[in-house]
Amino acid sequence: MTTRGRCLCGKTRWEYHGEATWACYCHCDDCRRNCAAPVVAWLGVPVTNFTWLGQAPKTFESSKGVRRHFCAACGSPMGFEADHYSGGMHLYAASLEEPKDFEPTFHVNYGSKLPWLQINDDLPKYEGTLLESPEDPKGYK
């Protein structure tokens, strides 16, 4: 199975083969500020199954060992890699060609959730990152 995504202008695209290893919402300040959104939806894939297509993204090192990828033409956030998540590519669910097919299974950094955002789902909610938790939903670490 091949899944594809793209930026707003379509110049930077991506694809991966196989299944996503996890799908979640993140409430951390960095993700919110990077997207100017109250919460960010992510999916993770092994970097070995992932390819950039079209114009290569620009990369911004938002903190030591953390790289955020975005379209150089339109500025759309596209992906995230971090040394502490070695071997994984985090992709913004909204960049999927078919974002309606996205099915999140948990929340991370729920302790940072904005107080005015109402969440009414029954998904597991982790106060911090899963690196800080003994639980690891479907390969998130």
Domain boundaries, the chain: 2-139
**Contact predicate 60/70, CB 8 Å:** yes
E strands, 1-141, in order: 2-6, 12-17, 22-26, 40-46, 50-54, 58-63, 66-70, 77-82, 88-92, 106-108
* pTM for the predicted model, two decimal places: 0.89
Q: What local confidence, expressed as pLDDT, does residue 128 receive?
A: 84
Q: What local confidence, expressed as pLDDT, does residue 67 receive?
A: 95
* Top CATH class, 2-139: alpha beta
Instruction: Report how far residue 66's alpha carbon sits from residue 8's, in angstroms, rounded to the nearest whole number.
Output: 23
Tens-place pLDDT, residues 71-125: 999 999 999 999 988 999 999 999 999 999 999 999 999 999 999 999 999 999 9
Query: Which tokens belong to 50?
Result: 């992932």
